Chain A
Amino acid sequence: MIAGPRLSPTGACMSCGGPASPQDNFCESCGTELAPASVSNDEPAAAQACRVCPSAPVSGDGYCEVCGRKAPGSRDHQEVDLGLLAGVTDRGLRHYRNEDAMALATADTPSGPVALAVVCDGVSTSDCADEASLAAARAAIGVLLTAVRRGEDLPAASVAAVRSACEAVTSLDSPLGNAPSATFVSAVMSCAAVTVCWLGDSRAYWLASSPDSAAQRLTRDDSMAEELVLAGLLSEADALASPQAHIVTRWVGEGIDEVEPHVATFEPPGAGALLLCSDGLWNYQPEAGKLAELALPTALTDPPAAAAGLVNFALDAGGGDNVTVVLAPFPPTRSRLPRAPFPDGSGPIRCRGEAQQ
């Protein structure tokens, strides 16, 4: 299970039952954080059945007790739905673990609801890449959420969030001496603008739903491929096919103390959806317009379904890498509540707030 909102749809604190409104970030009665951040893998779900021996018992640490195979675990596939935005992360088909991580949060401010998200992709040539991405996402979302609630400057908060992510990653042990590192992309979406901040090659896209505004990529990769393209040395297609394409040139982690993250503020011209994703998705479709075709219009009304759709698209295309997709419809409105889990408790992992509906 993943930690989620602790405010019931009927407007009560899930912890003490006291009255609360969507504008409250904390319960007036018991002080419980009503809209805390949801971080992938924060609370590991019980392992599921073995894919090879479905009737065999699975040990407490997640292995099939007959064939020894790792049963699909919590981090292999996770879905988070916070209403304002939703995310799906998946191990993919070729990697033995999911080194992507995502952290989602919502806040209600005097000027309206705000959706926040961070996506990090552990650099797999570094040590404990899975822990690095998770630590980075978790640290950053906390900084961003606090800044939003306090009404602070968002570009400055985004840079502070990256710093905090860096500290979290560099404090990890690196048993093999390859300093842990991860890519980083964050977005804070209010009713007026989207503040995007990034390092590495995880991306943010604007997926426009109206014909008069074009879908576009909001980030520029810190990667060898992008540098080759910018230098006019290769076409984008050739660059992406080159062996160096996925070598990131900037990241959170050790060795980049002086590097400032990129920060951009984007004012959406109309309705649409914000997409954050790791390269596990855009490897198979880098074009903003094509991604918009895949995600819309579902993303506007049912972001978890649209996010799952994009992940499935990547898996169907080969699933060569971990894939993470976060979708937030614009403008953010509280009209959509997080979707209830399947009645029998099976299926996608949903956040705790819903499980008690």
Chain B
Amino acid sequence: MSQLDFTVDVYQNEYLLDGGKDVNAVISVTAPQAVSAPAVTPDGAEIIIVDCSGSMNAPQTKMAAARTATTTALNGLRDGISFAVIAGTDRAQPIYPPDGSMAVADPRTRVAAKRAAVVCLRPGGGTAIGQWLRLAHHIFASKPSALRHAILLTDGKNEHETPEQLEEAIKLCEGVFSCDCRGVGTDWNVEELRRISTALLGTVDIVPDPAGLSADFAAMMKAAMGKRVADVALRIWTPRQASIRFLRQVAPAVEDLTDRRAQSGAQVGDYATGAWGSGETRDYHLCLQVAPVSAGHEMLAARVSLALGSTSAQHLLGQGLVKATWTDDEALATRINPHVAHYTGQTELAELIHEGLEARKDGNEDTAKIKLGRAVALAQSSRHDDTAKLLARVVDVVDAATGTIRLKKKVAQSDEMTLDTRSTRTVRTRK
């Protein structure tokens, strides 16, 4: 095993009954520890994008909190990292460095940037997030080989450009930089930010109270500085006549990667996963269909490896094998692997919350009650305490085990949005 090797563990029941075609596996991938991978630590480039629309002034503490958070984030920059700060309204403006280049972090530039943030992050104008992304894209262009990451903060919806314009900007930025998105307050749109964070391989979260921004920015910057390996893709080989039904990230959060496939060989596809921190673990659920063979045969259903670099086939880090073995033994074939069962449940939990909240918004209370009730039961049985707590702020739990609930008459907007935003987060299986 080389020092750069990712660890790939496969959990599955490989046994299929005669004629069986569906293969399910949970693939747990862990990045190497930083100490063993100094050679791959690339240069970093970081851009902080702060919403300066007029609404950031209501309440006034919001803009002030955003300034403080930006200062905190700037303090977290490692020396030598390239960085920039953008103010976003219905257009985008580089506030540091003001010429739209990138500065190199050192004590002097950090102070200068903090001053610029205090002076220039002022509310006034609209919201056109696509414009912000385009400027970040332009600025990052001077650092093509760096590990590029952005933090995007907004308090509102994308009102001053069309959804198509935003979509175009997202497409432009895909694969160029990763972006963690934060919504402060409750006037922004969860789906909108999720779309950006998903496409740009980042996270999305709500900061209901502006007072929480500083801590959140510090944590985001710490995570960004901890990234060690850039442009990692899951590379999956499958046999001829096999098809991938879906590939989902299932931990730390549910994320469908199926449509992210880029063909990289006759029977090989790559799925971008962005940058990885040292020792970071992510779990994936792979479901595929293979051409059945008679009992007594074994087939390699998928070979999963990690490809480093956007196009190179030469850096393959670690691999795991997903197998299919046909048998007459019904007891053997019908066993469900506990990891697969757990994450199937976690995915269902996220879907139930999403559908339940949608139904509630549409005034379809019966459906909302059923979906959210089942979500409560699933959260309890899978010991997902965080989600259980968030659910309890939206529904009155009568009996968690059976999923008996009542919809709360009055629900704080922030509670509903928090549940929506964090519904895709999962808990890992316990061994």
* Chain A residues at the B interface, C-beta cutoff of 8 Å: 59, 61, 63-70, 91-97
Known: A96-B325, A96-B326, A96-B327. A69 touches B296 (CB 8 A): no
A69 close to B328 (CB less than 8 A):
no
Question: Which residue in A68, A92, A93, A94 is a CB contact (below 8 Å) of B300?
Answer: A68
- For residues 53 through 105 of chain B, which have their beta carbon under 8 Å from a beta carbon of chain A? none
B239 close to A66 (CB less than 8 A):
yes
B290 close to A68 (CB less than 8 A):
yes
Q: Which 3 A-B pairs have the closest CB atoms?
A: A68-B239, A63-B300, A70-B298
Residue B240, interface by CB 8 Å: yes
> How far apart are the CA atoms of A70 and B321 in the complex, in Å?
12
Residue B297, interface by CB 8 Å: yes
Question: Which residue in A65, A67, A97 is a CB contact (below 8 Å) of B241?
Answer: A67
CB neighbours of B150 from chain A (8 A): none
> How far apart are the CA atoms of A91 and B237 in the complex, in Å?
27
Residue B242, interface by CB 8 Å: yes
Known: A61-B321, A67-B240, A68-B242. A93 touches B299 (CB 8 A): no
Q: A271 CB to closest chain B CB, in angstroms?
A: 39
CB neighbours of B299 from chain A (8 A): 63, 67-70
Q: B289 CB to closest chain A CB, in angstroms?
A: 12
A69 close to B295 (CB less than 8 A):
no
Q: B10 CB to closest chain A CB, in angstroms?
A: 13
CB neighbours of A69 from chain B (8 A): 239, 293, 297-300
* Chain B residues at the A interface, C-beta cutoff of 8 Å: 237-242, 267, 290-291, 293, 295-301, 303, 321, 325-328
> How far apart are the CA atoms of A66 and B238 in the complex, in Å?
8
For the A-B complex, the count of residue pairs with Cβ-Cβ distances under 8 Å equals 51
CB neighbours of B290 from chain A (8 A): 68
Q: A interface, by DSSP: helix, strand, loop or mixed?
A: loop
Q: A50 CB to closest chain B CB, in angstroms?
A: 11
Apart from A68-B240, A68-B242, A70-B298, what 6 extra A-B contacts exist at CB < 8 Å?
A59-B303, A67-B299, A70-B297, A70-B299, A94-B328, A96-B325
B296 close to A95 (CB less than 8 A):
yes
Q: B88 CB to closest chain A CB, in angstroms?
A: 49
CB neighbours of A96 from chain B (8 A): 295-298, 325-327
Q: B413 CB to closest chain A CB, in angstroms?
A: 49
B239 close to A67 (CB less than 8 A):
yes
CB neighbours of A66 from chain B (8 A): 239-240, 267
A-B pairs with beta carbons under 8 Å apart, 22 shown: A59-B300, A59-B303, A63-B299, A63-B300, A65-B267, A66-B239, A66-B240, A66-B267, A67-B239, A67-B241, A68-B240, A68-B299, A69-B293, A69-B298, A69-B300, A94-B295, A94-B296, A95-B296, A96-B298, A96-B326, A96-B327, A97-B298
For B241, B298, B321, B327, the residue with the greatest tally of chain A CB atoms inside 10 Å of its CB is B298
Question: Which residue in A68, A91, A92 is a CB contact (below 8 Å) of B238?
Answer: A68
B296 close to A93 (CB less than 8 A):
yes
> How far apart are the CA atoms of A96 and B242 in the complex, in Å?
20
Q: B243 CB to closest chain A CB, in angstroms?
A: 13
> How far apart are the CA atoms of A94 and B328 in the complex, in Å?
9
For A66, A68, A92, A97, the residue with the greatest tally of chain B CB atoms inside 10 Å of its CB is A68
For B237, B239, B325, B326, the residue with the greatest tally of chain A CB atoms inside 10 Å of its CB is B239
> How far apart are the CA atoms of A61 and B303 in the complex, in Å?
11
CB neighbours of B325 from chain A (8 A): 96
Closest A residue to B293 by beta carbon equals: A69
B327 close to A68 (CB less than 8 A):
no
> How far apart are the CA atoms of A92 and B327 in the complex, in Å?
14
> How far apart are the CA atoms of A66 and B240 in the complex, in Å?
6
CB neighbours of A68 from chain B (8 A): 238-240, 242, 290, 299-301
CB neighbours of A59 from chain B (8 A): 300, 303
> How far apart are the CA atoms of A69 and B292 in the complex, in Å?
11
CB neighbours of B298 from chain A (8 A): 69-70, 96-97
Closest B residue to A91 by beta carbon equals: B296
CB neighbours of B267 from chain A (8 A): 65-66
CB neighbours of B293 from chain A (8 A): 69
Q: A331 CB to closest chain B CB, in angstroms?
A: 40
> How far apart are the CA atoms of A242 and B290 in the complex, in Å?
36
Closest A residue to B324 by beta carbon equals: A68
CB neighbours of A94 from chain B (8 A): 295-296, 328
Q: A44 CB to closest chain B CB, in angstroms?
A: 15
Closest B residue to A93 by beta carbon equals: B296
> How far apart are the CA atoms of A68 and B303 in the complex, in Å?
9
Q: A100 CB to closest chain B CB, in angstroms?
A: 15
> How far apart are the CA atoms of A45 and B19 in the complex, in Å?
31
Q: B33 CB to closest chain A CB, in angstroms?
A: 25
CB neighbours of B296 from chain A (8 A): 91-96
Q: A126 CB to closest chain B CB, in angstroms?
A: 12
For B291, B297, B325, the residue with the greatest tally of chain A CB atoms inside 10 Å of its CB is B297
CB neighbours of A64 from chain B (8 A): 239, 300
Closest A residue to B326 by beta carbon equals: A96
> How far apart are the CA atoms of A70 and B267 in the complex, in Å?
17
Closest A residue to B242 by beta carbon equals: A68
CB neighbours of B326 from chain A (8 A): 96
> How far apart are the CA atoms of A91 and B293 in the complex, in Å?
17
> How far apart are the CA atoms of A93 and B267 in the complex, in Å?
29
Q: A29 CB to closest chain B CB, in angstroms?
A: 39
> How far apart are the CA atoms of A97 and B237 in the complex, in Å?
23
> How far apart are the CA atoms of A96 and B295 in the complex, in Å?
7
CB neighbours of B328 from chain A (8 A): 94
> How far apart are the CA atoms of A64 and B242 in the complex, in Å?
14
Q: B304 CB to closest chain A CB, in angstroms?
A: 13
Closest A residue to B14 by beta carbon equals: A96
> How far apart are the CA atoms of A232 and B300 in the complex, in Å?
48
> How far apart are the CA atoms of A68 and B239 in the complex, in Å?
5
> How far apart are the CA atoms of A61 and B298 in the complex, in Å?
13
Q: B19 CB to closest chain A CB, in angstroms?
A: 15
